[in-house]
Chain A
Amino acid sequence: MSHTQESGGRRLDRRRFLTTAAIGGATIVGASALGGLDAEAAFAEPMPSLDAAIPAAFAEGRIVAMNRNVLDVAGSHGERHLIQLTNATSIWKLRTTTAEAIEVGDGLYARGAAMPDGTIAADAVWVNIVNVYVTIRGIAKDRLHLTHGNDELVGRIVPDTTTASYLGGALTADLSRTRIGQEAQVLGAWRPADGSIDIARVSLGH
């Protein structure tokens, strides 16, 4: 899939589009103009920086404040990030979503371009995403009880969202083949309020 397009006779790549959007404000078209509406599409191709002055950037941490489209993020190692969202930013929070779904207190991983003013213009933001190796300890209609290392964890089954993959097979909404004692990988969205996880996908092992 290509994420470039012709614009006024000039080839426009996603990173150039993004940084232009971040500098110029919100007077931009949607990410669909670049052919990518979700975070996966946004990174399907290499994204060279515009030039050496605009290097790629990554940020991790908890959101401590939000001011319009800027996220103030406290990194886990004491650093601070200001992450600028634009109409071209792909946002994931259990599913592909919009900036309105982001809340103070959420954790995130963000990828984008480092701007001259120290902010990060985000290509993609994954909010509360976790990907944990677990053992299934209990099964209920609306949740799985899991152990992650020495910790107990609740994985919430979200109707119309949670899928499963058995032994590397295709994704299915059928969770009836989960078994107690099974090892699994759970990709989902962490809930800061109680530490549980909304399950996007559970991959069941042997």
Chain B
Amino acid sequence: MFESKGKILVIMLLILTITLVGCSKPNAAQNSGAEVVQKDKTITVSLPRDIGPMNPHVYNPSQLIAQSMIYEPLVSYKEGGKLEPHLAESWIISQDGKEYTFKLRQNVKFSDGTVFNAAIVKKNFDAVMKNFKNHSWLGFINVLDKTETVDEYTFKLTLKQAYYPTIQELAVVRPVRFLGEAGFPDDGDTSKSVKNSVGTGPWMLTSYKKDEYAEFTRNPNYWGEKPKVNKMVIKIIPDGETSVLAFEKKELDLIYGEGVISLDAFKQLKASGKYETSLSEPIATREVVMNTTKDILADLRVRLALHHGFNKQAMVDGITAGLEEKADNILSKNLPYTNVDVKPLEYNVDKAKAYLEEAGWKLPAGKTVREKDGKPLELELLYEKSDQVQKPMAETLQAEWGAIGVKLNITSLELTAQIKRLRAADFDLYFWSNYGAPYDPHSFINVVATKGFGISESLSSLPMKKELDQQVNDTVLSTDENKRQQLYSSILKTLHEQASFLPISYIKKTAVYQKDVKGFVFPANRDDNPFLGLDTVKK
């Protein structure tokens, strides 16, 4: 009786499943609603967040990598910190370091065919300066006095005072890149929105579905070497594991970036031998900042003991499986002015214990934590809750420093809460990393000297802090290359000797790509995109 009914129901279920399966088109070109036709050459990458409104003059939620595909700088940052002409073919800096005169390229057009000239450069600078408070993190914005068009292809910046990193800061992805006339809103205020994403870059945004995908095609008017592929598709995949699965199914050609997939996933893809993988040069240094205003850490000997008291090499290798590199310098040597030789503070438990003894931190009989005047040697290390590397490193330091008689409490916080405590200098030890290229080394020395970021405050008990601040000031005002190098060397050596920064590892970007993807090169600029030289031999 029910057998027939049961059979009918089972058959109905089967039909439903088959229908759903039948709707799928099993091929790698299935796309999130995008009508994908495999025309010529397309490379598909993933991004964890939507690309945003593609406004060159604002920050979140626009994504740097996508902004850098459309908008270009006057100056570009290359390997080893070399600053090369880009939209500006040359520049002259006045003797006093206050005037920068740029000769612009004359063969540049925006993607809509309009001409790139000094007038549009000025219009962009005016739009940025209208909301200069939002850009106060960028040093030259704070000292920018005026901008002017000398002639159609000559543009001049005048500063209130000399500021040597100006050229380097013009290489950043935002906010000093150039929007075409058609992109400006009627009131010229780009801080709210832009009409169209019209840039001079190699790519144009041609199809976009918020939170799903963005398609970029070659800019036919591009002045430089044109991209080798016709189209770049960015799929928005917030989850790293899903990105890996999509990559394995060949829905993605490339996974690129910082922390976009887990270290385990990267290792697994590398070990499979089916894909190409690569690691970038150091992009930043992972370090622990020691707050010298805290009683315990005000003593240099304690800071030195912490440096010597853990096996850095083993920790970095064990936790990052070689994807990061042991760091001895506060700043990696591939940044300008940072090729400074310092004596590494190597792992030496006996030395660490000796420093602590010398500082008066004795180990009472039967106890595991050192004490001084009845107070235990107890410190707190803050780490970010969601960071896959910080937590195991914090636990390792807890164990290693425990062995030399230091009790380390580790506290996980959300990023916003963590930043709040950093700015208030309300911490003992704090995981931190510098900004990378093209922001460093000048942004690094800026936070060393300038209050409000938490770093300067945490260094304020250093005996030579005032001298350091003066050296930083002299550095940014300097117009002499040799003097500048001497100042940088001095600042970095002092900070190294004072051991208030504990460099752990050099962070690197990862890239995993299909075998048919060719010409992948990491950009020197941390925020730039690597797509210009990419090619594919996909059938």
Q: A and B: real partners?
A: no
Give B residues with C-beta under 8 Å from A: none
